[in-house]
Amino acid sequence: MSQPRLHLISFDLCPFVQRAVITLLEKGIPFERTYIDLANKPEWFLQLSPTGKVPVLQVDDATLFESSVIAEYLDEVYGPQLHPLDPLTKAQHRAWMEFSSATLGSLWSFYTAANTEGLENARKDVLGKIARLEAAVSNGPFFAGESISLVDAAFGPVFRYFPVLESLGESGWFDAAPKVHAWSTALLAHPSVVDAVQPGYSDKLKVFIKSKGGVLATRV
C-alpha cells in the first residue's frame, strides 16, 4: 500500500508547527510544506482550518489540525514510536506536552510585555515552570532518558526562545535548573530540532518581538 501524501501548512515562526516538523523529521517521513502569512490568511487555508491556526496537516484528502493531534497521529502510523507504550506513562507524557503549551503562553506574555511590571511577572511565571520541569526531567539527555519522545518534540520549540531572549539581555533562566539546562542544550543540538526552522529564525523572531512594541522591542 502506498503511503499517503502529507502536506503541512506552516508559519515560519510558529512553535506549534515546529512540533509537527520535529516529529516528521525524527521519523524520516517525506512531506510537502507550504508557508502562509498569518496576518493575511488565504481563503483556501481558512476553509481547511476550523481554528484559523497552524499547523494543518493534509493527509491525502483528509485534514488534521492541532499540533498534538498531528504528532500523535504520526506516532501511531509511522515508526519509530516516540510515545511510551505504558498507558500511564503515555498519559503523563501527554500532560507534559500540555505543559509545554502553557510554557509557550508564559513566554509570549514575557516577550510582548508592555511594561516592566508585566515583564517581571511573566519572568517569574516562566521561571516557575522551569522549576517544575527541573523536578520532572530525567538525567538526560532527553526528557525521559536516552530516547527522544513527543515531549521533546513539544519542548524543542520552547527552548529555542531562550538564546534569543539572552541576546536581548534576559539571562539566568536555568541558573537554578541544571537538568533543564542540559536538556535544552541537547535538544537545541539535535538534528530534527535544528532543522525544524528555516535559516534566519532568530533574526525573524527579533523582528517579530520588535513589532509587538513591548519592553523588549526597544532592545532589538
CA–CA dist 125, 1 (Å, integer): 49
14 catalytic? Reply is yes
What's at 216, amino acid-wise? Answer: L
Instruction: Yes or no: say if 133 and 66 are a contact pair by the CB < 8 Å rule.
Output: no
* Sheet strand arrangement including 6-10: 32-35, 6-10, 56-59, 62-65
Residue of 8, 9, 14, 24 marked active site: 14
| CB contact set of 33 (below 8 Å; sequence gap of 6+) | 7, 8, 9, 10, 21
Instruction: Catalogue the active-site residues.
Output: 14
